[in-house]
Amino acid sequence: MQPIDVRRHFARCPDQQLGVLRNASTGFVVDAQSRRGSLPHRIKPVGEQSAFVGRALTVRCQPWDNLAVHAAIQFLRPDDVLVIATGAFEQAAVIGEKIVGMARNQGAVAIVTDGLVRDTSGIGRVGIPVFAAGATANSCYKTGPGEIGLAVGFGGVVIEAGDVLVGDRDGVVCVARRHLDQVCENLAAITAKESAMFDAIAAGGPKPVAMASITADLPLRYLD
């Protein structure tokens, strides 16, 4: 069995900031941080549950191995999201329903992985959202090595332990902890603006002014 490197101590944001993001759509959160931060599109909810917000506890696993995931369960705190990086490995499931249940019992509000899961019917009964790239019945060995609490990469998005993740049916967005104050400040204005435009459209009104301005000076060239 090979060692698991563990960073136990890292900053977690205050509950107040989680509260600001709790009812926000991933689209609004992305807009509040320069239109970026969404994890790769293939990472989607495994079952019906999808909405969550929480602090990342990061895990890195080797292909065909999930020993680091088992070790990470003990380090979870309430409102954490277990974030499992596999290098997008797609030949074996990195978690199943038992790990999801144990994570929930430790306070995890969601699990996110760029790899695969199994026991999808059982996962749906556990009660917390699980996001993954897909499902397979193949299972992992438990020999290591691995890492807990260190930075991981999901496509072009780097996730640090303590960063905040927000999820819904559209996917998962990462908000770096160092940007949380600014994102929370931006979010209120974006939510108000977007909601007002949607309400105007839903009521059958004309194109909202904010959207009409986008095409006001287009260099249109008419052919008839």
3-state class of 46 per DSSP?
A: coil
Neighbours of 216 (CB within 10 A): 7
- pLDDT averages per 10-residue partition of the chain, 224 residues: 96 94 95 96 96 98 98 98 98 98 98 98 95 98 98 96 98 97 94 86 81 81 93
The 8-class DSSP code of residue 39 comes to: P
- Evaluate the omega torsion of the peptide bond into residue 145 and state whether it is cis, within 30 degrees of 0: yes
Question: What's the pLDDT at 71?
Answer: 98
Q: How far apart are CA 117 and CA 46, in angstroms?
A: 8
Dihedral of the alpha carbons of 212, 217, 219, 223, in degrees to the nearest 10: 60
Residue 38, Ramachandran bin (φ over 0: left; ψ between -120 and 50: alpha; else beta)? beta
Tens of pLDDT, residues 10-39: 999 999 999 999 989 999 999 999 999 999
How wide is the angle at C-alpha 67 spanned by C-alphas 63 and 71, nearest 5°?
140
Domains and CATH numbers, the chain: 4-178 (3.50.30.40), 186-215 (no CATH)
Contact (Cβ atoms closer than 8 angstroms) between residue 83 and residue 59: yes
Q: How far apart are CA 129 and CA 135, in angstroms?
A: 15
Distances (CA, A) of 10 to 7, 67, 84, 181: 7, 21, 17, 18
The 8-class DSSP code of residue 217 comes to: T
User: Which tokens hold the place of 130?
Assistant: 């699980």
Supply the pTM of this predicted model: 0.93
